[in-house]
Structure 1
Amino acid sequence: MGGSYGLAVLVGVALLLTTGQCDVSCSGTDGRPGEAGIPGRDGRPGAKGQKGESAVMDSGPVDASVLLRLKGEPGSRGKPGVMGPKGYRGDLGPTGKPGEPGRPGADGKSVAHGEHSPQQARSAFSVMRTEQSYPAFSQVVTYQSTMVNTPGDFNTGTGYFTCRVAGVYYFTFHSVAKVSVCLRIASDPPFNKVGFCDYNRNTDQVLSGGVVLQLTAGQKVWLESFRDQQKEADARDTQEKQIIFSGFLLFSNSE
C-alpha cells in the first residue's frame, strides 16, 4: 500500500514536468529600448594644478607663434625718459610741382575817391639850412638843400609847407650851432606857434623839437627864429650852423 502511493507521486511529478515544457515556436515579443535619462549636473571644479617649470630658450631660431603664446600681461607704463639732443637738419628736398591756381578773390571796395585817393594821400619833406649867418628873428627860415620833397608840398624858396591833403601831420626840426638858438614851429590859425630854446654853454648847442598838427587843405606851416635871452653877439655870429626841418603826413581825414 505504501509502495503504490509513492509510485503515484512519482507519476504525478513526471506529468507536471512534462506539461511545463514549451515548444520552440512559443517565444515571447522583444521589449522596447528604455528612454534616455535627464542630464546630470556639472561636477565640482578640480583642484588648481601646480605651476609649470620655466621655458628653456632654444639656441635655434625662435618661432614667433610660440612667443605670442608665451607672452605675459603688459606691465605699467614707465616714466618718460630724458629728451635727447636735437638732430641735425636734413637736406632740403626737391621742389614740388606747382599747385593749381586758386579761385579769383572778391572785388575790392573803394575807400577813397577823387583827388585824395590812397595813391595820392602822401606828403613828406626834409630840408636843410646850411648858411653860417644867424637866422633873423621873427623871420621864416629858408633852406639851401632838399633831401625829400614828395610830392612837392614844401617851397624851399619861401620856407612854407602848404597842406594839400587834409589830415594829421608830424613836424620836427634839429639845429646845431656854437651859440644859443631859439626856434619855433608856426602855422596858420587855429594853431599858432610852439617854441624851443637851448642855453647850454657847451661848445656845440643842439636843439630839437616836434609837434603833431591837424591841418586842413591850404594851411601853411613854417619854422622861424625868435628872440628870447640870446645876447647881441649871438645874433651876429657867423660860425658854422645847421638847421634841418622835416614833416610828413601821418594819415588823411579820408582814412
Structure 2
Amino acid sequence: MISTYFLISILAISLAARTPEERAEKKANKYSQAAGTCLSCCERGDMGPQGAQGPPGVPGIQGPSGQPGMHGNHGSNGMPGPNGGKGERGEKGDRGAFGPKGERGVSGVPGNPGGPPGPRGVPGPEGPQGFQGATGAGEPGPQGIKGDLGPPGITGPEGQKGDKGLKGSQGNDPPRPPQSAFSVARETALKAPGSSNVIITFSHTFINTNNHFNSNSGIFTCVYNGTYYFIAHIYKASSNSWPIVRLIKNNVNQLAFMDYGSDSTDSTSNSLILHLVKGDKVWLSLDAGKALFSGTNRHTTFSGFLFAWD
C-alpha cells in the first residue's frame, strides 16, 4: 500500500515538472513517429477534427483514505413516546435490619388503688382436745389467779308463782301538752283608707287560752313551736266596696279571699295550716279602699289553735 502510493506520487511530480509546450511537442512527436513522418523538417498541418471518444480506461488504483471529517451537530430531541403499561409487581424485598432501640416512653398515670380488703374468713372448726401430759416431778406451784367468770348455765325450770304484792301508791298525772287557742269576732263594720291596708282588730273574745292573741292589735304571737290551724269568716254589706282579706305571717302574705259580686250582702271564708316557731306573728289584713261588715250578730270572725306541738 505504501509503495504504490509512493510511485504514484513520483509520477505526478514528474508530470507537473514539464511545461505545457514540452508536453505538446512530446505528444506530436509521438504521433509522427507512429505515422512514419519526420516532423523536424516538415510544416505542421492544421489540427484535424476531434476523434471519437475512446473506451474508458482501466480504473486507477484506489487513492488513500481521506482524513476523518468533523462530527456533525446533534439532532433535535424526538417527541416523548407514550407511557408504557404498568409493570408487574416486583418480588417482596428482603426484611430490613432492626432499627436502633427507641428512647424510654413517659411513665403512665398511676392506676387506681385496689379495692378494700375482703371480709374476714369464717373461723375454722376447733381442733380435737390433746392428750393429757404426764405429771411433772417438781413440787406443786403456788395457786394461780382466779379465772374469769364462765358463761351462764342453762336456765332452770320456772319457779312457783309468788303471793300478790301490796297495792302501790297513786302515781303522778302525765305532763299536759302546751295549749294555745283563740277565737274572736268583730261587732262593727270596718273600711280601710284608700292609701294603705289595715290590720283587722276584734272586739269580742270567745276564747283566748294563755292570751296569745292580742284583740287590740289583732295579732297572734306564737309561744310554742308546732303546727297551727287558722280559719276566718268575713261578711259584706255593699256591692261597691266588696272586701279583700289576706292572712299574713311575719309580713308575708299566705293567702287571700274576697267576696265579689252584685249581691249587697254575702259572706265568705278560708282556712289553712301553718307551722310556727316561737315569736312568729299572724294576723288578718283588709286591702286599701275595701270594707267589711259586722254587727252584734258577729258576722266576721277569726280563730286559730295549736294541734301538734314539736
> What TM-score do you get using the length of structure 2 for normalisation?
0.40
Question: Which one has more relative contact order, counting CA pairs under 8 Å at least 6 apart?
Answer: 1
**Rg larger for:** 2
